[in-house]
Copies of this chain bind each other. A is one copy, B any other.
Amino acid sequence: MYDLIIYGGKCWLDGKFEDCNIGIKEKNISYIGKKEEKAEIEINASNCLIFPAFFNSHTHSAMTILRNLVEGNLTEWLKKVQEIERRMSEKDVYWGTMLACVEMLKSGTAGFADMYIHMDSVAKAVCEAGMRASLGYGMADRGDPERAKKELEEGLRFANKWDGAFGRIKCHLAPHSLYTCSLDFLKKVSELGYLKHIHLAETLWEVKELKKKYGVTPVKLLDRIGFLDDKTVAAHAVWLSDEEIEILAKRKVNVAHCPASNMRLGSGIAKVREMLNAGINVCLATDGAASNDTLNMLQEIRISALLQQLRRKPIKFFEIIKIASENGYKAYNFNGGKIEVGKLADLIIIDKKLIFGPRYENFTYSPPQKVSTVIIDGKIVVEDGTILTFDEEKVFSKVEKIAEDLINVLL
């Protein structure tokens, strides 16, 4: 007897589809096979595909408030965005994150990694939405020792308060980047032994600035201070030399690839094919909604694959699905992202009709628009496209009001 069984669907097992039933007990997948098992709740998944849920490995979820607002490249964009962020309250971040949860859940994302301000609000939103997340307060000392102390205090306070909460939240330390943090600060952060989440080699501007300041490129610089290891997630990693790809691989650094954001801000195209060939654990991410401007991992799959095609360095369907799910779970140390007995029951069910057919086995370039069911931690969070954990209508109206107030000030 299981708590939940999904029967009649095509399941994505080990990089291919098999017709089988999935039994869930408490938070985990506990049966995969052809037998007709019984359960408290039974989900009929005929004409459906079942995948591990997606993990959005780098975002700033409350930035939904800034969606479709600012144009321009990263440097101009950061200036405008930071002006608005300075005015954001805890409440703003809470509702912005809830809106992010609406969008992520409907497009099949169960977990995400977030680096931002007012992180207590983000954690609260994650709990209420029923999602999974790895969270870190975005720290930037800007070379000021006093500020460095305060930032690290806040980063640690948040991480120690929320790590392990509800069994769905883990915490990390999130020093923003090499251009907003001093080397001393980054070194101190890396000595604390936490998982680390940092923006790295996002733009050519960043590479040039660091070369000017330190005479060396970003990856080599981080490596020099001993920052790089398997407990590091480097977001973006667009501007890498072959040698730097080798360093990231050797240090077992995880890379959060943000293809749409890198287009949107004119940053460039990451060398995903080469990173995969080097054995790097590449994960997929949307980045924040101010630079994407969606949080839709189904679309991110398509954009990521299209960009590598444009480079004539194709990635395959099985690779891109792994990047979008398993690799993200692995980077942030969650035991999920794969349909396998003993793994976390974070699953999505996709109605085949939304792929438009006639084949459904490979939707790299024609992903469905949404998922019908999302199961997180063994619980149904989205059913027939409707979110069960909270009232999404309320979220829309709250965020509309917040955006109006924040942006009227700006104009």
Contact = CB atoms under 8 A, between A and B. Distances in A.
Contact of A359 (B68, B73, B266, B309): B68
A358 B404 CA distance: 8
A314 interface: yes
A71 B358 contact: no
Interface in A340-378: 353, 356-359, 361-366, 369-370
A151 to B, nearest CB: 29
Nearest to A96: B358
Contact of A365 (B264, B311, B353): B264
Nearest to A365: B293
Q: How many copies of the shown chain assemble into the complex? A: 2
A402 to B, nearest CB: 7
Contact of A292 (B65, B264, B303, B366): B366
A365 B310 contact: no
Contacts of A69: 359
A230 interface: no
A68 B366 contact: yes
Interface in A36-78: 64-65, 67-69, 71-73
A67 B303 CA distance: 17
A58 to B, nearest CB: 17
A282 interface: no
Given A357-B396, A396-B353, A399-B357, A306 B263 contact: yes
A68 B67 CA distance: 31
A358 B100 CA distance: 11
B356 A67 contact: yes
Contacts of A396: 353, 357-358
A312 B266 contact: yes
A329 to B, nearest CB: 25
A260 interface: yes
A299 interface: yes
Interface string A179-192: 00000000000000
Nearest to A362: B68
Given A264-B306, A312-B266, A358-B403, A294 B366 contact: yes
A289 interface: yes
Contacts of A361: 68
A69 B317 CA distance: 12
B264 A358 contact: no
Contact of A358 (B310, B362, B402): B402
Given A312-B73, A366-B289, A396-B353, A358 B263 contact: no
A299 B99 CA distance: 21
A99 B358 CA distance: 9
Interface in A266-324: 266, 268-269, 289, 292-294, 299, 302-303, 306-307, 309-312, 314
Contacts of A310: 262-263, 266, 268-269
B365 A292 contact: yes
A403 B10 CA distance: 19
Interface of A: 64-65, 67-69, 71-73, 99, 102-103, 260, 262-266, 268-269, 289, 292-294, 299, 302-303, 306-307, 309-312, 314, 353, 356-359, 361-366, 369-370, 396, 399-400, 402-404, 407
10 contacts: A67-B356, A68-B359, A68-B366, A99-B358, A263-B307, A264-B309, A266-B312, A293-B365, A294-B365, A359-B407
